[in-house]
Structure 1
Amino acid sequence: MTTFHELHHGEHPLILPNAWDFTSGALLVEAGFPAIATTSLGVAAAAGLPDGRARSAAETFALAARLTRLPVPVSVDVEAGFADDPAAVADYVARLADLGVAGINIEDGRGDTALAAPERHAELLHTITARVPHLFVNARIDTHWFGIEEASTLTRVRQYAAAGADGIFVPGVTDPDTITTLVGATTLPLNILYTPAGPTVDAAAGLGVRRVSTGSALYRTALGAAIGLARTVRGDRGEHTAVPGYREIQSLLEPPATPHRPR
């Protein structure tokens, strides 16, 4: 079987679809995708938990155990590692590797608005890669996703590569010139997030991109189709094909603020 590392160096970019449960993963394998990943939003939301809050470690691990039954490499989105202590994160990742997981995706975003200091995140990556050197560690950089500290992106690319990362993921990047700059900044394979506003896969390949992920798009599209059908069955008029946005789903999962009650 072709290894997960090798899939990043083929003739064409690796199209990596993101599953949210066993059946979605199995159907993607049946459709011919040579590897699959998980979507942290889909995994967390299916359990009624918000994404990016380090609350879905158990659900992520349980899904990984199921997906590794499939005959393709599996990469697992571990958000920011589900813990503050690098050793604890490395322990968790090592347990995933023991299941047979081929790779992880780990982000430097913290919540929805903050970024880890690049030095601290590089330390985390180094701890993980030293503990599980055979695992493909995809270092996600959230500068463009959050729209903050974008000037630090290249610094983060270089520091994460030096820390032992196997790939660099910069979601939110759609500009061809920026993508070209990122590709030229490292010898590691660059991963981008598919979006209709971005380059086609062929165009991305021409820019040097080696991996294209779907993120939460498949999960959100499935939700939109399900709600649309339910509304059609109910007799609602018109088209019902709207795909819920990431923040729309997150808003359903965040606990409501506790109202102030006068004493």
Structure 2
Amino acid sequence: MTLRYEEFRDLHRPGAPLLLPNAWDHASAAAFAAAGFRALGTTSLGVAAAAGLPDGSGAARAETVRLALGLARLDTLVSVDIEGGFSDRPEEVADLVAELAEAGVVGVNIEDGRADGTLRDVTHQCEILRAVCDAVSGRLFVNARTDTYWLRGAGEAGRTAARLEAYRRAGADGLFVPGLRDLTVVAELATGFDAPLNVLHAPDGPAFAELADAGAGRVSCGSLPFRAALRGAVAAVEAVARGAAAAPDVPSYDEVQALSDHFAQS
């Protein structure tokens, strides 16, 4: 377990960041692994939406854990989005993360955003992070996410830095700021802490290379692959309705079956 944690940790290189695709089920994870991605994450939106549940509310705990335990069997490094930990009790979050670490998961995201659009009290969030880090130190990469930009809009650099500093002191291995697009702020935060900065790619935001140049240590795809898959599915059926040619490069039945077979043998 320690070797896998160290491998995952070492993939976070400021200036040459880890590009992390995010899966929502076994097939998407196996497809990313087959495409050569050594590490992958899960997307809480994708997992929840695929189950007909809301994201960010804690409703998809069972689905998230079930998927994580299955993906841990793949020959890839898996980090799991556990929203805010599915509990406000530090010991319960720590027990969950320890269970994931024991199964072979190498990382988790823990966010401070709440379903009502507010941020969890920073002291309380640090209590959760400390409990988690104490339980899995050296075995699992704890990525502490702050939603200062995600929920509160732009112009939150000062508040963001204060929260990141607190989370790093609490033991977090990595620091995640989704919604951050200002490359100047990315550079400031990337150099301001002795922990890799994780940012979320946005199609209308900075390119991967720009985020790398700014010092990001990890760039996550978030729910983008899931949303793209939904659009692709609808587009394929619309093409049939128009009598258009099938979309190019769609995996064949046998290719998808091979992904399933690979997963079953992992």
The answer, yes or no, to whether TM exceeds 0.5 is yes
2 CA distance for matches of 1:69 and 1:30?
A: 14
Question: Which stretches of structure 1, 4 residues or longer, exceed 6 Å deviation after superposition?
Answer: none
Kindly state the Cα deviation for residue 11 of structure 1 after the two structures are TM-superposed.
Answer: 6.8
C-alpha contact 2:14 2:216 (8 A) present in aligned 1: no
Which residue does the alignment assign to 2:202? 195
Kindly state the Cα deviation for residue 176 of structure 1 after the two structures are TM-superposed.
Answer: 1.1
Which residue does the alignment assign to 1:235? 242
* Stretch of structure 1 that moved more, 12-21 or 145-154: 145-154
Aligned counterpart for 1:185 among listed residues 188, 192, 202: 192
2 CA distance for matches of 1:10 and 1:200?
A: 15
Note the aligned Cα RMSD (angstroms): 1.8
2 CA distance for matches of 1:154 and 1:199?
A: 20
2 CA distance for matches of 1:99 and 1:50?
A: 26
Where do 5+ consecutive residues of structure 2 fail to align?
Answer: 245-266
1 CA distance for matches of 2:28 and 2:189?
A: 32
Which residue does the alignment assign to 2:27? 23
Q: Give the match's secondary structure for 2:108.
A: strand
Q: Which amino acid aligns with 2:34?
A: E
- Aligned pair in 2 of structure 1 residues 177, 10: CA closer, same or farther (>3 Å)? closer
Aligned counterpart for 2:140 among listed residues 132, 135, 139: 135
When normalised by structure 1's length, the TM-score is 0.86
Aligned counterpart for 1:54 among listed residues 46, 53, 58: 58
- Aligned pair in 2 of structure 1 residues 101, 191: CA closer, same or farther (>3 Å)? same
Q: Give the match's secondary structure for 1:184.
A: helix
2 CA distance for matches of 1:225 and 1:233?
A: 13
Q: Give the match's secondary structure for 1:27.
A: helix
Where do 5+ consecutive residues of structure 1 fail to align?
Answer: 238-263
C-alpha contact 1:52 1:112 (8 A) present in aligned 2: no
- Aligned pair in 2 of structure 1 residues 212, 231: CA closer, same or farther (>3 Å)? same
Aligned counterpart for 1:164 among listed residues 137, 149, 171: 171
C-alpha contact 1:112 1:146 (8 A) present in aligned 2: no
When normalised by structure 2's length, the TM-score is 0.85
Sequence identity, in percent?
Answer: 48
State how 1:1-263 maps to structure 2 within 5 Å: 3-9=7-13, 12-133=16-137, 134-147=139-152, 150=156, 151-235=158-242
C-alpha contact 1:103 1:137 (8 A) present in aligned 2: yes
2 CA distance for matches of 1:136 and 1:77?
A: 12
2 CA distance for matches of 1:233 and 1:112?
A: 41
Greater per-residue helix proportion? 2
Q: Give the match's secondary structure for 1:231.
A: helix
Which residue does the alignment assign to 2:258? none
Q: Which amino acid aligns with 1:147?
A: R
Which residue does the alignment assign to 1:257? none
